[in-house]
Amino acid sequence: AQKITQTQPGMFVQEKEAVTLDCTYDTSDQSYGLFWYKQPSSGEMIFLIYQGSYDEQNATEGRYSLNFQKARKSANLVISASQLGDSAMYFCAMSTRTDSWGKLQFGAGTQVVVTP
């Protein structure tokens, strides 16, 4: 069975600093996708970034980048130049080709609080 682990329940980061959110995953499938979502206090899940298991380069989307270390089964999210609006819950998720098309397995999440 596949599993996503986020070991940091919460963290504080100062505005304009970078922050790294940890995510490790476990799957025996060779074909999978890794996703990061942001959930502000309003509750909506906002897609941030995607990394495919066969992608050779780390994904980047604006201030978000994904540090993908396949051998270590790690997919950490890096947020550069944090802003107050980045305060939210962040979830790592994975889908695999064999475990039902598009079915996402989520981690428990990391609460980020950005301070001035």
Partner 1 sequence: DGGITQSPKYLFRKEGQNVTLSCEQNLNHDAMYWYRQDPGQGLRLIYYSQIVNDFQKGDIAEGYSVSREKKESFPLTVTSAQKNPTAFYLCASSANSYTDTQYFGPGTRLTVL
Site for partner 1 in 52-81 (CB under 8 A): 52
Q: Which of 7, 28, 30, 47 binds partner 1 (CB under 8 A)?
A: 47
Pair 80, 20: CB distance under 8 Å? no
Among 96, 113, 114, 115, binds partner 1 (CB under 8 A): 96
Is 50 a binder of partner 1 (CB under 8 A)?
A: yes
How many alpha carbons fall within 13 Å on the CB side of residue 69?
A: 8
Tokens of 1: 């069975």
φ, ψ dihedrals at 84, nearest 5°: -60, -35
Residues contributing to the site for partner 1 (CB under 8 A): 4, 31-33, 35, 37, 42-47, 50, 52, 91, 93, 95-97, 100-104, 106-109
